[in-house]
Amino acid sequence: MQFFSHDGFDIAFIDEGSGDPVLLIHGFASTHFVNWVSPGWVKTLRDAGYRVIALDNRGHGQSSKSHEPQDYTPEKMAGDAAALLDHLGIERTHVMGYSMGARIAAFLALAHPEKVATLVFGGLGIGMVEGVGEWDVIAEALLAEDPAAITHPRGRMFRAFADQTKSDHRALAACIATSRTLLTPADIARIEQPTLVAVGTRDDIGGAPEPLAALLPRGEAFAIDRRDHMLSVGDKTFKARVLEFLAAHPL
C-alpha cells in the first residue's frame, strides 16, 4: 500500500501495471482489496494492459477514519479521488466505481470532467437518481451492540459485511448518513463521457441499468445475468463487457 494526504485524511491506494490508467472506486463498507483485488479485477485489468489505481475511500480500509457525517459527502470523496490523480500526475483516466463508488465516480466526472475519459457505473443504476431504498436501518445495524438482535435483512447483510471487512462501524454509520446524495436527470445529462452502467438482474439495491443509461448522452446498459448486488462484482461476463468497453474507448 501507498499513502498520500488530502483534506486531513491519509488515503491508502495501490498503483500497479502500465498502460492507460483505470481508477477503481469501491463501494460502501468495502475496501480496494475486497472490491477489486479479491474478485480478480486488478489482475484482469493489469493483464489486459492497463495501469490500475485503486484507493481505500476515507473511512474505509487502511485510510483515515472520521466519525463526523459531514466528512463523507460524495463531493468530498470525489475530491480525494481527484487529488490522488493529481498526486500521481495522471491527467486523464478511465474511472470505474461500484455501488457507492459509482456515485463518487459520477460526482468526480461532474466536478472534474477533464480528468475522466470514460466511466463504468457498477451496481448502481437508476437508484443514482431515484434513491436506493431504506438505509437508516443499516446505520442502526452497524451500531447495534448485539448483531444477533438485528432483524432487518439488509441491515444484517451490511453488518455482516462490515464485520467481515473489520471495518470501523461508527465511521461507516457516519458515511451512510451523508454519502447518498441523489443526482438529478439534469445532472446525469451533463455527464458526457462514454458510460457503461452494469447492474445485476437480481440486484434489489442499485436500480435497473437501462433507465440511467437512457439519461446519459453516451450511456450503455449491461444487465449482469442472475447476479445480486454482492455477486455481480466478480462476474466474468461483467469483466468481459468492461474490457470490451474500455477497448472501444482508448485514451
Cβ neighbors of 63 (< 8 A, separation 6 or more) are: 9, 10, 11, 12, 55, 56, 57
Cβ neighbors of 17 (< 8 A, separation 6 or more) are: 45, 46, 49, 50, 51, 52
* Model confidence band, residue 222 (pLDDT cutoffs 50, 70, 90): very high
Whole-structure pTM value: 0.96
Cβ neighbors of 13 (< 8 A, separation 6 or more) are: 1, 2, 3, 4, 32, 53, 54, 55, 56, 84
Nearest to 115 by CA among 167, 53, 26, 36: 53
User: Tens digits of per-residue pLDDT, 88-147?
Assistant: 999 999 999 999 999 999 999 999 999 999 999 999 999 999 998 777 888 899 999 898
* pLDDT of the residue at 132: 83
Quote the cell numbers at residue 164: 467481515
* pLDDT of the residue at 126: 98
Find the helix or strand (DSSP H, E) in which 189 lies. helix 185-189
* Model confidence band, residue 52 (pLDDT cutoffs 50, 70, 90): very high
Beta-bridge partner residues of 222: 198
Share of the chain above pLDDT 90, in %: 91
Provide mean pLDDT across the span 215-232: 97
Domain boundaries, the chain: 2-132+179-248
108-112, 147-151, 206-210, 239-243: segment of lowest average pLDDT:
147-151
Question: Cα dist. 192→99, 102, 251 in Å?
Answer: 20, 15, 15
User: Tens digits of per-residue pLDDT, 14-28?
Assistant: 999 999 999 999 999
* pLDDT of the residue at 164: 87
* pLDDT of the residue at 133: 73
Give the C-alpha separation, 188 to 250, whole Å: 22
CATH match for 2-132+179-248 among 3.40.50.1820, 3.40.50.720, 3.40.50.970, 3.30.230.10 = 3.40.50.1820
User: Tens digits of per-residue pLDDT, 154-202?
Assistant: 889 889 999 988 899 999 999 999 999 999 999 999 999 999 999 999 9
Provide mean pLDDT across the span 55-60: 98
Average confidence score pLDDT of the chain: 96
